[in-house]
C-alpha cells in the first residue's frame, strides 16, 4: 500500500472538515445541566416579620383591630400596619379573663364569675349582658348559643338576646374539660383522657353519641382540632419527648376512625385549623400542617419561635405567649 | 458501453451497485475483465477489486433482471477509487403464475434488523435501546436500557441469545448491555402470544440471533466515546469456523494511563464472546461462551450530595449446541448450558443516610431439546428441558436506591437452589387454507414451586391481506425468590390479544393490536421486609404502527400505543399504576441510506411522564421523614428527538463508517424524578440526558 502526498492532502482536508463538524456539534451541545434549582414543594414559606413585647393569652381580630386578653385586661390594638401596631384602648372587666370570643359587635368574655357580653362597637366598650357561672374556663359559640366549659360541665346558653343570656342546660362529664370545639350539630370535648362527641342538635337536650378513651398505654392527649370531616389529635407518649398528631375520620356516623399518625418534631400544645392551613404550636416551634390530603397530615413549613397561642389572619401568623407577640408572613415561593 | 474517466490515484477499485429506480442495493456480479476474475457484491451491494495494476481497467456489472453495464476506469496513480453504479431494470418475460404466498404473521411479535439498529440513534452499541422504540415497551430512564413491556416488571422479561437464557444481559443496571451489537444479526421480540417453546416469562421474550459464520475472514472494529468493540469471523477450515467478539469501555483505562486519575477505580465493563461452529454430516455443532465483567469503586458528588458505589460483578454463560436438519421436514436442536452471575455491591445513594451492601449470585444450568417435524402443511414441535437454578441474595437491592432515587430500609436474605423442568408440545396447521392455527401446551416445574403449572396457548391467524390474528394463553414464571414469602406461587399472566395487519404496498404494512393481560400471584410488599405472593394486576392497551421495511433506501416505523396498567409491586401492596407505566407513547423512527454514502437515522419519542408519588411534607422527631401523597401523579410529558448521521467510506480496501449521533437535540429537560432537601420542604428536578453528542467510527475489514 502506497500513499502519495496528494492523497494525504485530500485526506487531511476531509479530516479537517469532519473535525470541524464534530467540534461545532459538540460546542453547540454543551449544556450539561442535570438538575434544576430548588423549588418549594407547597408554594409557600414563612418569614419572620417582627415581635412586640405585647404578650397575652389570646388574640382575635375584628377587621384590622386586634383584641388581646392579658390577665384582667382586654387590650385593643390597631393592626392595620403589622410592622407598627399600636394600642387603641383597654377594657378592664375587673376579673381575670379566662377566655373570650368575638362575634359581630360583641365580645363574649369568660370571667371567674361567669359570662359577660360586651358591646365593642365604639371606643368605650360597655357591658350588655351577664350570666353568673362558677369558674368557667372555655367558651365556644355556634349560632345563637354559646357553649361554656366550667370544670367538668358543659353549659349551653342561649344568647339570642345579648342583654339576657339564658342558661339552657348543662351536661356533666366525669373529668374536667380541657378543650372544646363545636359545629352545627356536635360538640367535641377533650375531657380527661377521653374525647367525647355530644350531639347538640337540640341544645336543650344534648346527648353523648361517641366516646373514645385513651388509657395509660396509649398516648397522652394534649389537644385537638376539627377541620372538615377530620379530627386531629395531638398526643404525647409517656415515655418519649416526641409528640404525634393522629388523624381521625368522622364521616362514618360521626364516630372516630383512626386513619393516620404523624410524628411531630415537637410537642404540639396548640392547634388552630380555622384558616386555610392548620397551625400547630409548641413553646419553641411553629409549624403549618399540610392538610392537602386530610387523611395524611404532614409538616409543610416550620419555624421559630413558637408560643402558647396562635392565629392565622390574612397572610400573617400571630403567636402569643405571656411576654411576646410574634408576627410571621406567609409568602408565596417564586 | 460507458466510459468513466477517473483522474485519480487508484490501486483498488471498490464501490456499490444499486437499483436505479428503488435505490436498493444489488448483489451483482462484477467481472474484472483484465484479471478474468468475477467478484460478487455483498448484501449491501458493495464490492472490492484489489491489486489493480493496469492503467485502464474494464469491469462488467451484471444482475438478473437488470441491464448489464460495462465500465472503463482509467487510473493514473495507485490509490482507491470508489464507484457508485446504477443498474436499470429490464423486464424478464415469464409465464403467468398464480401466487399463493404464505405470510408469516405472529401476534405481538416485533423484529428489527441489523441495519436498522445501526442507524437508530443510541442503539448503535446497545440493542436494548432499540427495544425501547417498539410499541408496547416503556423505559424508565434515558440512562438505562431497561425495558418494561405491557405493564410488566423488569424481571418478567427473558433475554435469550441463540436460544439460551442470559442471566446478566445488562451492565450497571442497564446503562450498557453485555452483547456486542456487531455479533447480532437481528432479533425477535415476543410480547403477546409467546410460543409454548418459551416459558418462565410473563411479559416478553427477547430472542437475539447471532451473525452467521462466513466463508472468509472478516471483522468489524468500532469505537465511540464510551466503548470499543471488535468482532472477528474466521473460517478455520471448510467446516470449522470461529467468531470472536470483545468490547470494553476505555475511558477509565485511558485516564489512568495518562495519570489523570489515580487510586480510584472508575466504572468499567468488559465483555468477551465467542462461538465455534462445526458443520458435520449430522448437523451443526457449536460451542458458545460469554464472559462479562464490571466494576467500580468511586465516591462522587451527585446533585450536591455524595454518592458511593463499589461494585464487582462477573457473569459467565457457556453452551454446547447441536442443530440438525434431517430433511426439509425434520429439525432437531439440543443445548446444554451453564450460566452464573456474581455481583457484590456497596453503595449509598443521593438520599440514603446509611450505606447498603448487596451480594447477589445466580446459577443456572441444564439441557434442553427441541424437535420440529413438518408433515405437509402441519408442523409438530416437541421439546423439553431440565436443570437446576440457584439464587443467593443478601442485603438491600442497591439498584433500587439509585434507580428510584430513594432509600431502602430492609434487607433481602435468601439462599436457595432447586431443580426445574419443562415439556411442551405445539401443533401448527391450516384451517380451510385461509387460517393458520397453532395450539401449544407447556408444563413447567418451576424452582421453588411445589406443583407443575400447565400453560395452554392458542393462536389463530387469518392469512389474507389484511390479515387478522387472535392469541390467547397462560404464562407462568418463577417469582423473584429474593423476596421472602411464606409459600411461593408462580407468577401468572392470562394474555389475550387480537389485531390486524395490512400490507399497504410492498414493504409497507400497518398493524393494529389490542391486548389484555390479567396478572395473578404478583409479589406485593408492605415495607419492613414483609412480602406476599398474592398480588394481582391488569394491563390493557392498543398499539398502532406503520412500518416501512428495508426495501430501498428509506425505512422506519411510526407507532402509537395507549395502555392502562395497574398492579401490585414489591414496593406497593396496593394495586396502583406502576412508576414506569406511560399511558401514551408515540414513537417515530426513520432511516435513510443515500447513494452518496450517507446513512441518516432520526428518532422521535413523545410519551406520558413517569408516575411518581409526590412528597407533600414531612414528619419525624430526630430526623425528617417524607410524607407522600396518597395518590400518584405524573411528571411532565417526555420528549426526545435524536439524530444519527453516518458517512460511509472506503479506505485501504476496508469499508467504514464515521458517524455522529446527537441525543436529545432539542435539549428537552425530561424529568427523571425529584430530590428533596433535608427538611422535605423543597425539591429539585433531576433531569434525564441533556443534549449529548456522540461520535463513532466503525471499520469492516
The C-alpha cell 362575634 sits at: A103
Task: Assess whether pLDDT exceeds 60 at residue B9.
Answer: no
Nearest-Cα distance to chain A for B700, in Å, is 18
- The span from the CA of B206 to the CA of B111, in Å, is 10
Task: Assess whether pLDDT exceeds 90 at residue B95.
Answer: no
Are B680 and A41 within 8 A, CB to CB?
yes
| Residue in chain B nearest A1 by alpha carbon | B652
Give yes or no for B307 touching A (CB within 8 A).
no
Handedness of CA B127, B130, B134, B136 (dihedral sign): positive
Of all residues in chain B, the percent with pLDDT exceeding 90 is: 39
Task: Assess whether pLDDT exceeds 70 at residue B143.
Answer: yes
- Provide the greatest CA pair distance for chain B: 91
Are B690 and A265 within 8 A, CB to CB?
no
Decide: A15 and B589 in contact? Cβ < 8 Å. no
Other C-beta atoms within 10 Å of B32: how many? 20
Determine how β-strand B69-74 pairs with β-strand B2-5: parallel
Highest mean pLDDT among A46-55, B118-127, B206-215, B574-583: A46-55
- The span from the CA of B524 to the CA of B476, in Å, is 17
pLDDT, residue B7, reads 35
Summary mean pLDDT of chain A: 87
Q: Which residues of A touch B79 (CB under 8 A)?
A: 3-4, 7
Q: How confident is the model at residue B2 (pLDDT cuts 50, 70, 90)?
A: very low
Q: Which residues of B touch A285 (CB under 8 A)?
A: none
pLDDT, residue A101, reads 95
* pLDDT tens-place string over residues B595-606: 778 889 999 999
* pLDDT tens-place string over residues B26-61: 888 888 887 777 787 876 787 888 767 666 778 889
Nearest Cβ partner for A35 among B77, B662, B685: B685
Q: Which residues of A touch B635 (CB under 8 A)?
A: none
Q: Which of A330-334, B96-100, B185-189, B353-357 has the lowest mean pLDDT?
A: B96-100
The C-alpha cell 433535608 sits at: B678
pLDDT, residue B108, reads 62
Task: Assess whether pLDDT exceeds 80 at residue A49.
Answer: yes
Summary mean pLDDT of chain B: 84
pLDDT, residue B405, reads 42
DSSP labels, B412-481: --EEEEEEEEEEEEEEEEEETTTEEEEEEEEEEE-TT-SS-EEEEEEEEEE-SSSEEEEEEEEEEE---T
Handedness of CA B201, B140, B692, B176 (dihedral sign): negative
Are A3 and B617 within 8 A, CB to CB?
no
More confident residue, A22 or A50: A50
Give yes or no for A334 touching B (CB within 8 A).
no
Task: Assess whether pLDDT exceeds 90 at residue B575.
Answer: no
| Residue in chain B nearest A301 by alpha carbon | B681
- Residues ≥6 apart with Cβ < 8 Å to B93: none
- Residues ≥6 apart with Cβ < 8 Å to A20: none
Are A22 and B680 within 8 A, CB to CB?
no
Q: Which residues of B touch A302 (CB under 8 A)?
A: 679, 681
Task: Assess whether pLDDT exceeds 90 at residue A116.
Answer: yes
* pLDDT tens-place string over residues B54-64: 667 788 898 87
Task: Assess whether pLDDT exceeds 80 at residue B238.
Answer: yes
DSSP state of A284: S
Nearest-Cα distance to chain A for B274, in Å, is 32
* pLDDT tens-place string over residues B610-662: 999 899 999 988 788 889 888 889 999 999 999 999 988 887 778 888 999 99
* pLDDT tens-place string over residues A218-277: 667 889 999 988 999 998 877 776 788 999 998 777 788 888 889 887 888 888 887 778
* pLDDT tens-place string over residues B204-235: 999 998 887 767 788 899 998 888 999 999 88
- The span from the CA of A276 to the CA of A326, in Å, is 20
Nearest Cβ partner for B627 among A6, A7, A296: A296
Give yes or no for A302 touching B (CB within 8 A).
yes
Give yes or no for B225 touching A (CB within 8 A).
no
Other C-beta atoms within 10 Å of B237: how many? 8
The C-alpha cell 430548588 sits at: A38
Most B CBs within 10 Å, among A38, A236, A244, A294, to test the B interface: A38
Report whether the peptide linkage leading into residue B486 is cis, meaning its omega lies within 30 degrees of zero: no
B257: helix, strand or coil: helix
Task: Assess whether pLDDT exceeds 60 at residue B374.
Answer: yes
Task: Assess whether pLDDT exceeds 50 at residue B5.
Answer: no
Decide: B488 and B477 in contact? Cβ < 8 Å. no
DSSP labels, B270-288: EEEEEEEEEEETTEEEEEE
Closest of B235, B315, B233, B236 to residue B272, by C-alpha: B315
Nearest-Cα distance to chain B for A301, in Å, is 7
B262: helix, strand or coil: coil
* pLDDT tens-place string over residues B265-317: 677 889 999 999 998 888 889 999 999 999 888 776 655 566 777 889 999 99
Q: Which of A136-145, B186-195, B299-308 has the lowest mean pLDDT?
A: B299-308
Q: Which residues of A touch B660 (CB under 8 A)?
A: 21-22, 25
Task: Assess whether pLDDT exceeds 60 at residue B254.
Answer: yes
Q: What is the 3-state secondary structure (H, E, C) of A179-221?
A: EEEECCCEEEEEECCEEEEEECCCCCCCEEEEEEECCCCCCEE
Q: How confident is the model at residue A213 (pLDDT cuts 50, 70, 90)?
A: confident
Nearest-Cα distance to chain A for B438, in Å, is 50
More confident residue, B1 or A177: A177
Are A299 and B619 within 8 A, CB to CB?
yes
Nearest-Cα distance to chain A for B219, in Å, is 20
Task: Assess whether pLDDT exceeds 60 at residue B151.
Answer: yes
| Residue in chain A nearest B143 by alpha carbon | A34
Nearest-Cα distance to chain A for B681, in Å, is 6
pLDDT, residue A12, reads 64
Q: Which residues of B touch A38 (CB under 8 A)?
A: 677, 682-684
pLDDT, residue B50, reads 73
| Residue in chain B nearest A33 by alpha carbon | B690
B575: helix, strand or coil: strand
Whole-Å CA distances, A114 to A97, A129, B332, B381? 10, 11, 101, 96
Q: How confident is the model at residue A148 (pLDDT cuts 50, 70, 90)?
A: very high
Region A130-146: mean pLDDT is 94
Other C-beta atoms within 10 Å of B36: how many? 7
Decide: B152 and B539 in contact? Cβ < 8 Å. yes
Interface confidence (ipTM) of the complex: 0.82
Report whether the peptide linkage leading into residue A305 is cis, meaning its omega lies within 30 degrees of zero: yes
CB contacts < 8 A (A, B) = 120
Amino acid at each position: 500500500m502506497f500513499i502519495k502526498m496528494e492523497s494525504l492532502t485530500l485526506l487531511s482536508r476531509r479530516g479537517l472538515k469532519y473535525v470541524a463538524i464534530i467540534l461545532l456539534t459538540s460546542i453547540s451541545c454543551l449544556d450539561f445541566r442535570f438538575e434544576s434549582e430548588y423549588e418549594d414543594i407547597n408554594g409557600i414559606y414563612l418569614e419572620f416579620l417582627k415581635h412586640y413585647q405585647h404578650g397575652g393569652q389570646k388574640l382575635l381580630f375584628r377587621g384590622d383591630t386586634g383584641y388581646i386578653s392579658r390577665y384582667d385586661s382586654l387590650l385593643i390594638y390597631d393592626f392595620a400596619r403589622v410592622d407598627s401596631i399600636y394600642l387603641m384602648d383597654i377594657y378592664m372587666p375587673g376579673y381575670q379573663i379566662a377566655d373570650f370570643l368575638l362575634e359581630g359587635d360583641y365580645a363574649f368574655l369568660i370571667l371567674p364569675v361567669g359570662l359577660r357580653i360586651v358591646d365593642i362597637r365604639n371606643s368605650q366598650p360597655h357591658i350588655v349582658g351577664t350570666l353568673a357561672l362558677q369558674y368557667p374556663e372555655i367558651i365556644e359559640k355556634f349560632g345563637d348559643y354559646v357553649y361554656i366549659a366550667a370544670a367538668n360541665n358543659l353549659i349551653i346558653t342561649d344568647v339570642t338576646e345579648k342583654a339576657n343570656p339564658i342558661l339552657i342546660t348543662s351536661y356533666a362529664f366525669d373529668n374536667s374539660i380541657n378543650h372544646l370545639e363545636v359545629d352545627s350539630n356536635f360538640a367535641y370535648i377533650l375531657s380527661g383522657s377521653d374525647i367525647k362527641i355530644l350531639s347538640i342538635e337540640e341544645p336543650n337536650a344534648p346527648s353523648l353519641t361517641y366516646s373514645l378513651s385513651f388509657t395509660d398505654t396509649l398516648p397522652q392527649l394534649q389537644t385537638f382540632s376539627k377541620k372538615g370531616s377530620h379530627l386531629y389529635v395531638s398526643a404525647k407518649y409517656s415515655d418519649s419527648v416526641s409528640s404525634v398528631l393522629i388523624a381521625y375520620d368522622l364521616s362514618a356516623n360521626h364516630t372516630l376512625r383512626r386513619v393516620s399518625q404523624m410524628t411531630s418534631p415537637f410537642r404540639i400544645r396548640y392547634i388552630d385549623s380555622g384558616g386555610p392551613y392548620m397551625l400547630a404550636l409548641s413553646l419553641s416551634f411553629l409549624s403549618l400542617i399540610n392538610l392537602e390530603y386530610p387523611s395524611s397530615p404532614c409538616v409543610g413549613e416550620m419555624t421559630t419561635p413558637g408560643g402558647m397561642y396562635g392565629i392565622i389572619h390574612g397572610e400573617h401568623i400571630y403567636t402569643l405567649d405571656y411576654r411576646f407577640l410574634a408576627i410571621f408572613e406567609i409568602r408565596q415561593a417564586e | 458501453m460507458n466510459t468513466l474517466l477517473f483522474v485519480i490515484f487508484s490501486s483498488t477499485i471498490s464501490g456499490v451497485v444499486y437499483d436505479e429506480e428503488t435505490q436498493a442495493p444489488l448483489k451483482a456480479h462484477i467481472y474484472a475483465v483484465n484479471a478474468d476474475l468475477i467478484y460478487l457484491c455483498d448484501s449491501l451491494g458493495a464490492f472490492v477489486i484489489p491489486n489493480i495494476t493496469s492503467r485502464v481497467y474494464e469491469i462488467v456489472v451484471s444482475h438478473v433482471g437488470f441491464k448489464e453495464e460495462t465500465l472503463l476506469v482509467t487510473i493514473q496513480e495507485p490509490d482507491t477509487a470508489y464507484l457508485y453504479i446504477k443498474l436499470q431494470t429490464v423486464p424478464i418475460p415469464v409465464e403467468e403464475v398464480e401466487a399463493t404466498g404464505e405470510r408469516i404473521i405472529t401476534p405481538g411479535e416485533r423484529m428489527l434488523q441489523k441495519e436498522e439498529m445501526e442507524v437508530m440513534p443510541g442503539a448503535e452499541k446497545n440493542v436494548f435501546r432499540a427495544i425501547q422504540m417498539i410499541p408496547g415497551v416503556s423505559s424508565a430512564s434515558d440512562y438505562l436500557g431497561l425495558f418494561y413491556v405491557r405493564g410488566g416488571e423488569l424481571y418478567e422479561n427473558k433475554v435469550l441469545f441463540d436460544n439460551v437464557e442470559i442471566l446478566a444481559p445488562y451492565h450497571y443496571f442497564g446503562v450498557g448491555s453485555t452483547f456486542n451489537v456487531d455479533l447480532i444479526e437481528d432479533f425477535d421480540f415476543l410480547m403477546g402470544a409467546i410460543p409454548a417453546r418459551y416459558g418462565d416469562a410473563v411479559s416478553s421474550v427477547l430472542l437475539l440471533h447471532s451473525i452467521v459464520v462466513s466463508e472468509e475472514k472478516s471483522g468489524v472494529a468500532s469505537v465511540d466515546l464510551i466503548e470499543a468493540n471488535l468482532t472477528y469471523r474466521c473460517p478455520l477450515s471448510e467446516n470449522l469456523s470461529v467468531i470472536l467478539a470483545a468490547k470494553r469501555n476505555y475511558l477509565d483505562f485511558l485516564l489512568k494511563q495518562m495519570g489523570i486519575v489515580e487510586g480510584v477505580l472508575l466504572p468499567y465493563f468488559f465483555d468477551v464472546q465467542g462461538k465455534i461452529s462445526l458443520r458435520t454430516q449430522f448437523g451443526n455443532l457449536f460451542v458458545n461462551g460469554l464472559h462479562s465483567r464490571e466494576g467500580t469503586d468511586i465516591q462522587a458528588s451527585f446533585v450536591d450530595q455524595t454518592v458511593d458505589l463499589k461494585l464487582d460483578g462477573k457473569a459467565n454463560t457457556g453452551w454446547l449446541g447441536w442443530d440438525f436438519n434431517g430433511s426439509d421436514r425434520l429439525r432437531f436442536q439440543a443445548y446444554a448450558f451453564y450460566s452464573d452471575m456474581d455481583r457484590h455491591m456497596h453503595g449509598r445513594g443521593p438520599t440514603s443516610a446509611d450505606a447498603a451492601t448487596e451480594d447477589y449470585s445466580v446459577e443456572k444450568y441444564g439441557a434442553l431439546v427441541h424437535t420440529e417435524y413438518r408433515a405437509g402443511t402441519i408442523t409438530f414441535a416437541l421439546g423439553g428441558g431440565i436443570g437446576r437454578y440457584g439464587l443467593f441474595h443478601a442485603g438491600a437491592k442497591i439498584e433500587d436506591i439509585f434507580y428510584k432515587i430513594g432509600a431502602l430500609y430492609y434487607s433481602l436474605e435468601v439462599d436457595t437452589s432447586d431443580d426445574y423442568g419443562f415439556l411442551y408440545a405445539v401443533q401448527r396447521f391450516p384451517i380451510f387454507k385461509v387460517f393458520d392455527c397453532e395450539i401449544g401446551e407447556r408444563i413447567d416445574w418451576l424452582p421453588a414451586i411445589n406443583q407443575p403449572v400447565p400453560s395452554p396457548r392458542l393462536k389463530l391467524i387469518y392469512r389474507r391481506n389484511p390479515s387478522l390474528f387472535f392469541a390467547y394463553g397462560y404464562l407462568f414464571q418463577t417469582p423473584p425468590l429474593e423476596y421472602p414469602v411464606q409459600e411461593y406461587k408462580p407468577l401468572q399472566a392470562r394474555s389475550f390479544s387480537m389485531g390486524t395487519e395490512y400490507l399497504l404496498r410492498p414493504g409497507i404494512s400497518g398493524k393494529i393490536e389490542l391486548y389484555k393481560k390479567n396478572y395473578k400471584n404478583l409479589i406485593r410488599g408492605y415495607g419492613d421486609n414483609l412480602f406476599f405472593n398474592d398480588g394481582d394486576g391488569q394491563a390493557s392497551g392498543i398499539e398502532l404502527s406503520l412500518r416501512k421495511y428495508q426495501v430501498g433506501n428509506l425505512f422506519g416505523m411510526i407507532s402509537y400505543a395507549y395502555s392502562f396498567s395497574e398492579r401490585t409491586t414489591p414496593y406497593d401492596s396496593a394495586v396502583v399504576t406502576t412508576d414506569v407505566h406511560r399511558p401514551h407513547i408515540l414513537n417515530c423512527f426513520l432511516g435513510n441510506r443515500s447513494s452518496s454514502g450517507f446513512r441518516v437515522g432520526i428518532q422521535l419519542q413523545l410519551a406520558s411522564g413517569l408516575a411518581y408519588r409526590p412528597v407533600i411534607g414531612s414528619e419525624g422527631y430526630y430526623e425528617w421523614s417524607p410524607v407522600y401523597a396518597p395518590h400518584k401523579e405524573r411528571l411532565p410529558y417526555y420528549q426526545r428527538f435524536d439524530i444519527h448521521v453516518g458517512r460511509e467510506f472506503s479506505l485501504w480496501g476496508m469499508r467504514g463508517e464515521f458517524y455522529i449521533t446527537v441525543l436529545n437535540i432539542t435539549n428537552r429537560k425530561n424529568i427523571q424524578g425529584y430530590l428533596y432537601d433535608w427538611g422535605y420542604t423543597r425539591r429539585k428536578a433531576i433531569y434525564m440526558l441533556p443534549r449529548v453528542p456522540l461520535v463513532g467510527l466503525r471499520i469492516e475489514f
